[in-house]
Structure 1
Amino acid sequence: MTVTSVSPTRSVLADCVRSATTAPSLHNSQPWLFRIRGSAVEVYADPGRRLQVLDTDGREQLISVGAAVFTLRLALRRAGYASDAALFPRPDDPDLVAVVTATHSAMVTSGVEALAAAIPRRHTSRWPFARTSVPADVLDHLRDAARWESTVLAEAGPAARDAILHLARSADHLLHARPGYRDEIARWTGGGLRHDGVPGWAVGPGDGLERVPIRNFAELSPLPRPSEKFEPNPTILVLATAGDRRCDWVRAGQALQRVLLAATWKGLAATPISQPVEVPAMRRLLIDPRAGLTVQMVLRIGYGTQAGRTPRRPLSDVLLPLPHASRGRAVM
């Protein structure tokens, strides 16, 4: 166990920001920016990186930024600091999503160590999973992770699972018909020296059973997409919030990352099934309206091989300088 007795240095905060950049994001767009100010880190949504076709209202961008906020909080906790996160603290600056402030030293527990150790290992797997059930105690662990962030995580039963997969496949067809969809996919797909997007090696095959809708990032490639048989009865989880405002989207992102890191800790792989939540009419069908909840994300989880982590933007690309008027202040 570790105890700290001083405020975090700028170097410590920069390392925590570097950890935050490993968070998941739609098409690996990494739509965030950060600024270190004293013992606080400001987290911004980068409007130039929002996907205009898939994410017309910015909901998925704020989920992505929320995932980065949770990772930042966890990295600070692993460095020995408790923190407070204020969401949308300046109404006149809507791109400022959160200010995460280190408040005091805190013991680093074994649970924090285990969850933080999953940060560099977490990644999206678009490959088939083993035909092995996820144990009930592991699912309970993931539900608890979501509950810590004031959200609800539920496993879809057989009938609900089949209905969700059907909605996802239908949504996938509708999304392909949206003007600009193929161009947006092309923008965020490829290899080379880029530090964002989905590289060719991470695309994954199509499902030969035509059951699991894995988004096709290779559809513009001249080569045929490989096909493999995915697990016929995947474990599907639904993440929901009590509201559907911007703060709820950020809260969902924090819960999503906590769940994904807990899943990684337990040896699970995960794939977001985003299509049904990207079509409003279908998103409303994902949960009984009497539940009083709104679905924010659908996940497929299971036991799979390591697929590798997609590239990340360097710290110099995402760390903003202090405004000119603030540069004379001491920065710890």
Structure 2
Amino acid sequence: MMHAAQLSAWKIDERRFDRSAPLDQQLRFALQYAVLAPSNHNTQPWRFIVDGDTVQVCADRLRALPVVDPFDREMIISCGAALFNLRVALCRLGVAYAITLFPSDSDPDIVALVRVSRDGHCDARLPDLFVALTARVTTRAPFVDEPVSAEVQQKLIDACDAEGAIASCVEDRAERQTIAQLIAEADQDQFADPRFRRELASWIHPQRRGDGMPAYGAAARDLLDYAMPLVTSVVRVFDVGAGMPASHHHLVEGSPLIVGIATSRDDKEAWLATGQALERMLLVAAAEGLTASYLNQPVEVGALRERLKVLLRVDAIPQLLLRVGRGPQVGHAPRRPLSDVVF
């Protein structure tokens, strides 16, 4: 069960923001929202260094996933999502800013430098997403078999486009079935690797506090040690309380819309843009009463990434794959204390 301190991270009182406070205190207040960003296995792989009117957004490689994410691609994506949350919070609080991406040649772990500035920028569209910061949640349960309207799909596409990424929406049943088969193939490839199983198990351990996915630990423990063919996408897609894997049929039925996010390049700048696009899209979805969870397996298995590109019908490099829909009410993932990530 989540401790009260972990739960309180999602209950921020905006009214406590003091516009007359020193800039470093204003930045620390806004960072309460930054840490609510999603991350692979809920690793929360970020650190923030506040110095007067600036904050450095840094990747925390001590929280890397060397097996599933050997090039730190998903780590930087997660940092991009946190950076976007910070942008939304600052705009809502009326704090203008300027951002320099990867400002240090000598320290590549600094992914962004945010400086409060009267001459800075505030995107007028971002404050509308502020309420969704604390409403967004990852739902690993099946979604209602209800189509996502073309209007909402366009909003998701536009959200990614605004951050320099390309979203591809797949709602056709046959196409979703083909993608589901690709996900199952990727799952078999990953679970065949004992290093992958150990890495995943360490992040769903029920004794974890403040990070990871401990709510799935007790139910998934036996699955992780079970015969590999029986351990499919259930662990990272659907709840595992029943102890049974998610079939292709269940995955398709429980995922009315599959969304791929791609970029024209495959470098750290593209990964950071992907993270910002991801979070912008997730907040737009949350504002529409929708939620999402991740199907990144085909992106994580290099041999399948090109096949996913064909299925998404994009002339770009797939970075993320998600399922979007209307799901049941679920609790938030735990969060580390702010004192552990803000310096």
TM-score by length of 2: 0.82
Quote the offset at 1:202 in angstroms: 8.9
1:94 maps to which of 92, 98, 108: 108
| Mapped contact 1:43–1:69 kept (Cα < 8 A) | yes
Do structure 1's residue 62 and structure 2's residue 84 form an aligned pair?
no
> What's the CA shift string for 1:83-110, capped at 9, x where partnerless?
222111111101111112222377895x
Deviates more, 1:49-58 or 1:195-204: 195-204
2:290 aligned with 1:268: yes
In 1, are the aligned partners of 2:169 and 2:257 still within 8 Å (CA)? yes
Kindly indicate whether residue 111 of structure 2 is the aligned counterpart of residue 124 of structure 1.
no
1:114 alignment counterpart: 128
The one-character-per-residue Cα deviations of 1:15-54 (angstroms, maximum 9, x if unpaired) are 1112111100000000000001222110111111010110
- Counterpart among 63, 83, 99 of residue 97 in structure 2: 83
Partner of 1:314: 337
Identity across aligned pairs (percent)? 37
Instruction: Return the match for 1:20 from 23, 34, 38.
Output: 34
Correspondence 1:237-276 to 2 at 5 A: 237-276=259-298
Structure 2 counterparts to residues 59-208 of structure 1, below 5 A: 59-104=73-118, 111-158=125-172, 159-192=174-207, 194-200=209-215
Shift of 1:9: 2.3
TM-score (norm 1): 0.85
Q: Which of 224, 230, 233 matches 1:213?
A: 233
Distance in 2 (alpha carbons) for counterparts of 1:246 and 1:292: 19
Shift of 1:243: 0.6
Structure 2: gaps (5+ residues): 1-17, 224-229
Matched residues, number: 311
How much does 1:191 deviate?
Answer: 3.2
Residue type of the alignment partner of 1:282: L
Distance in 2 of aligned mates of 1:78 and 1:216: 33
Distance 2:275 2:21 in 1: 27
- C-alpha offsets along residues 205-258 of structure 1, whole Å, 9 cap, x if unaligned? 99xxx9x93435999x9x862578555263101111111011100110010010
- Structure 1: unaligned runs, 5 residues or longer: 321-332
Q: CA RMSD in A?
A: 3.1
Query: What is the alpha-carbon distance in structure 2 between the residues aligned to residue 203 and residue 129 of structure 1?
Result: 23
Query: 1:99 and 1:107 mapped to 2: Cα distance?
Result: 16
Question: Contact 2:159–2:277 at 8 Å: present in 1 too?
Answer: yes
Normalized per residue, the structure richer in helix is 2
